[in-house]
């Protein structure tokens, strides 16, 4: 069995230097871990958020930014609210009926098979980022997000970090 090297999963760049960069790192870690949750109940989400943020804090990854324990508590509360809303239980909808147009069913099939198509709710992303900044008292702060594909982030990693592979996030303070 092949051993796992922890350094393969660590970001080689500097630790976050600002509150905003720390929040982005926490959000990325929590969001990625939440996708692997089976049966994401509010209590499981809460445990996950607490475990991830505590581990990052205890690992010293936030020691160069100015996030306080009070800030971390507010961030955890925000993440819990957001993820609980995202993963809320949905009712089972009946299968499509034969009266539904074939074109609509074909379009849905194409969307579900397309690995490149990821719908983004930019309005919601903007509201969430603004809410977190407001709760942290960062009214003059700015967050910029760029959504790219694997090839584009690999190019950015190569250019700025001399690392020729894609990653799931690239953060600059």
pLDDT digits (tens, 9 = 90+) for 96-115: 444 444 444 433 333 333 34
pLDDT of residue 67: 93
Q: For residue range 15-33, list pLDDT tens digits in order.
A: 999 999 999 999 999 998 9
What is the share, in percent, of the chain residues with pLDDT greater than 70?
79
pLDDT of residue 115: 43
Which residues of the chain carry a pLDDT beneath 50? 90-115
- Matching residue, tokens 């800030």: 71
- Matching residue, tokens 């003059």: 140
Provide the token pair at 99. 């009266």
* Cα–Cα dist 66/56, whole Å: 14
pLDDT of residue 119: 73
């Amino acid at each position: 069995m092949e051993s796992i090297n922890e350094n393969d999963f660590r970001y080689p760049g500097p630790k976050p230097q600002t509150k905003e960069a720390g929040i982005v790192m926490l959000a990325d870690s929590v969001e990625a871990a939440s996708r692997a949750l089976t049966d994401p109940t509010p209590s499981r989400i809460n445990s996950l958020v607490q475990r991830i943020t505590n581990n990052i804090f205890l690992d010293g990854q936030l020691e160069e930014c100015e996030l306080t324990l009070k800030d971390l508590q507010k961030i955890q509360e925000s993440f819990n609210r957001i993820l609980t809303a995202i993963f809320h239980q949905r009712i089972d909808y009946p299968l499509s009926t034969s009266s539904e147009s074939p074109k609509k069913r074909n379009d849905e099939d194409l969307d579900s098979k397309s690995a490149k198509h990821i719908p983004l709710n930019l309005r919601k992303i903007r509201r969430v980022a603004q809410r977190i900044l407001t709760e942290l008292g960062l009214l003059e702060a700015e967050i910029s997000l760029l959504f790219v594909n694997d090839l584009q982030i690999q190019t950015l990693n190569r250019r700025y970090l001399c690392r020729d592979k894609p990653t799931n996030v690239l953060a600059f303070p």
